Amino acid sequence: MGAPSHATTWGRALWAVLLTTLGSVASQPLGGESVCTARPLAKYSITFTGKWSQTAFPKQYPLFRPPAQWSSLLGAAHSSDYSLWRKNQYVSDGLRDFAERGEAWALMREMEAAGEKLQSVHEVFSAPAVPSGTGQTSAELEAHSRHSLVSFVVRIVPSPDWFVGVDSLDLCDGDRWREQVAVDLYPYDAGTDSGFTFSSPNFATIPQDTVTEITSSSPSHPANSFYYPRLKSLPPIARVTLVRLRHNPRAFVPPAPGPVGAGGSNEIVDSVSVAETPLDCEVSLWSSWGLCAGPCGKLGAKSRTRYIRMQPANHGAPCPELEEEAECVPDNCV
C-alpha cells in the first residue's frame, strides 16, 4: 500500500483531537461545577440560631397556642444530582408534609431513598427542635469529597407552610474544606398552603405553587405576617453556622467573634443585637356617620369612629384619631 495522503493524515489528526476534547468534556461535572479534591471526609458542627424575636418581627408575633418556635432541623450531605428543595421549584410530598405539619418521616424516607438508589446522599442528619423563637440547636454531619453539598430545612412554627433553610451549600473549595461558613436565613413559602398569617387555618394551594421567598413587600397584602412596607428587606430570621471539626469533635468550642472573612465565615451574632423593626399603627376604615343630634333650626353634630387593628411598636407611626365629628342639620326634629 502507498503512504497515506496528506488529507488522510490531517483527517486522522483532527479526529484524535476531537476524541480528546470530547473525553475531557465528558469527565467534567454538569453545569460547570468544580470538582472537590479535598481529603475524602470532613466532619462539621452545624449550629442553627433562631433570631425570630418580637423586637425584630413585632407584627402578629405568636405569643400563645403555640408561641413562636422552630421545628427540628432535617438535612443531608449530598452531591449535585440531589435537591432537597430549591427556590422556584415544586417541593416533594415529604417536604410538603414537613412544611405544613412538621411531619418528618416521609421527608427522611425520601432522603434515605436517594442515598440508596442514586448514591447521591452521603448522610442524613437532624437537630432537635427549638422551643422559642430565639434559641439554638446543633448537630454534627459528615461531608464527602463527592458529596460536599449541604441542604437543610427548619419549619417556622406556627405557620401555614413556611420554612427556612439552605440549598446546596458547598463546604468544599477546590482542594480544601472550608473551615467555617455562616449564612443568614430568611423565610420561604413552600407553595402548598395559601395562608397569610402565622395562625392561618389550613387552606391548600390548588394548583400547587413553587417555593418563593417571603419578603417585606411580598406577598403584597396587609394581612401578611411578614408585611413591613417601610422596610427595604426583612432582617434575618435565623442564622446557620458550620464549623469544621478537628481531632476531638465533642470538644468543639465556637470560635471567638471576628469580622467576616473572604471565605464567608464570621461569628454567630447574638439575637439580642438584632435591630428593632418599626411597626406602624393600623386602624380600620371609618364607620358610617351617626345620626345628627341637635335642636331644630340650628346646626347639630354627627360622629363616626374607627378602631385600632394593630398597635404601633418599636417607634412606629402612632395611631391617628379614632373619632371624628362634623356639623350637620338635624332631621326629623320636633
Pick from 226, 207, 229: which is nearest to 156 by CA?
A: 226
Q: Does 180 lie in the same domain as 99?
A: yes
Could you tell me where the DSSP H helices lie in 87-186?
93-101, 105-113
Pick from 149, 160, 158, 89: which is nearest to 122 by CA?
A: 149
In a domain, 32, yes or no: no
What is the 3-state secondary structure of 174-204?
A: CCEECCEEEEEECCEECCCECCCCCCCCCCE
The answer to whether residue 25 scores a pLDDT higher than 50 is no
pLDDT over 70, % of the chain = 81
The answer to whether residue 91 scores a pLDDT higher than 50 is yes
In a domain, 115, yes or no: yes
The tens digit of pLDDT for each residue in 309-331 reads 777 877 778 888 989 999 888 87
Contact 199, 259 (CB under 8 A): no
The answer to whether residue 135 scores a pLDDT higher than 70 is yes
How many residues are there in the chain? 334
The answer to whether residue 9 scores a pLDDT higher than 80 is no
Q: How far is CA 233 from the centre of its chain?
A: 13
Domain end residue (candidates: 229, 244, 259) = 244
The tens digit of pLDDT for each residue in 49-88 reads 999 999 999 999 999 989 999 999 999 999 999 999 999 9
Q: What is the CA angle 108-110-113, rounded to 5?
A: 110
Q: How far is CA 155 from the centre of its chain?
A: 9
- Count: domains in the chain: 2
From residue 42, how far is each of 34, 38, 82, 246 by CA, in Å? 18, 9, 19, 9
In the 8-state DSSP scheme, what is residue 331?
A: S
Contact 202, 190 (CB under 8 A): no
Distance from C-alpha of 259 to C-alpha of 248, rounded to nearest angstrom: 26
Q: Does 92 lie in the same domain as 160?
A: yes
Residue ranges making up the domain that contains 308: 282-328
At 294, which CATH number?
A: 2.20.100.10
In a domain, 261, yes or no: no
Q: How does residue 297 score in pLDDT terms, banded at 50, 70 and 90?
A: confident
Pick from 303, 309, 234: which is nearest to 275 by CA?
A: 234
In a domain, 269, yes or no: no
Q: How many CB atoms lie within 10 A of CB 202?
A: 12
In a domain, 180, yes or no: yes
Domain end residue (candidates: 244, 269, 296) = 244
In a domain, 36, yes or no: no
The pTM of this model reads 0.73
